[in-house]
Copies of this chain bind each other. A is one copy, B any other.
Amino acid sequence: MHRFFVAAPGISGAAVTISGRDAEHIRALRIRRGEIFTVCDGAGADYVCRMTEVGRGSASAEILEKRASAGEPGVRCTVYAAFSKGDRPEAVVRKSVELGAAAVSLFISARCVARPDAAAQARRAERLRIVAEEAAKQSGRGIIPEVSISGSFEEAVRDALRTELALFFYEEERELALRQALGGTPAPKTVSIITGPEGGFEPGEAELAASAGCRVVSLGPRILRCDTAPAAALTCVMMYYGQFERVV
């Protein structure tokens, strides 16, 4: 079933109005009058709708049923990933959204190869927000996860520490395995995952993260690429907290 996000003002009573890019998309998909599709308000509610009118730049539908979005995990997990080369940031955002991240934030750390300036960061963030929206539609999320390029490593660590559990994934960590860090306490409601760039974190960065209050953890004996690590870490966290179970 096709899925669109429509901000609350477009949803009123028993009807929904779709405009802008989504209305164009509806025309491109040739969704016709009478067809059933899903509209999500981006705040966790899904509306099953029947199309009533498809026009230029706008479409209308009647709401048949309202229900909670099934795609939202019970743990709010934010991914902080170091900015990487080429189109890897797009892959990191897309997969994080599919796998249930609440938000994705990219930052520049000491060994980042790609170091966009503020203007390039703003342009890139816009592009990454479109990737996030597409992935949210495709994977059936109930929200469009926020995407930001936060700038510095220090800011990322500071923001991550606002969650109940901030996990800092460090290749050189030899002691603390992820399962130990996740276990032993009641499941947190908010978690942060911090992963490094192509060349990994510098020892000083790991020390800074640890002394600021992050749990510095290992993802095991295999060295994961910088675009594999955030998805793997997020999958592990979601698996550990039972977020791959289907809520029927």
Q: Give the interface of A toward B (CB within 8 A).
A: 70-71, 94-95, 98-100, 138-141, 173-174, 177-179, 218-225, 228, 231-232, 235-236, 239-240, 242-248
Contacts and interface: CB of A to CB of B under 8 A. Distances in A.
A99 to B, nearest CB: 6
Contacts of A221: 70-71, 140, 246-247
18 contacts: A71-B221, A71-B222, A95-B228, A98-B223, A98-B228, A99-B232, A139-B224, A141-B222, A173-B246, A218-B244, A220-B243, A220-B245, A220-B246, A228-B231, A231-B235, A235-B239, A236-B239, A239-B240
A141 B221 CA distance: 9
A98 B225 contact: yes
Contacts of A179: 239, 242, 244-245
Contact of A138 (B98, B99, B178, B225): B225
A140 B242 CA distance: 30
A222 B100 contact: yes
A239 B217 CA distance: 14
A208 B224 CA distance: 35
A244 B248 contact: no
Contacts of A219: 244
Given A94-B225, A174-B246, A177-B246, 10 more contacts: A71-B221, A71-B222, A98-B222, A99-B232, A139-B225, A140-B222, A218-B246, A220-B244, A220-B245, A236-B244
A218 B247 CA distance: 11
A71 B220 CA distance: 8
Contacts of A236: 235, 239, 244
Nearest to A174: B248
A174 B248 CA distance: 7
The 5 residue pairs across chains A and B that have the minimum distance between CB atoms: A220-B244, A235-B235, A177-B245, A70-B221, A236-B239
A243 B179 CA distance: 10
Contacts of A138: 223, 225
A222 B139 contact: yes
A140 B174 CA distance: 15
A239 B242 CA distance: 12
B98 A244 contact: no
A121 B224 CA distance: 28
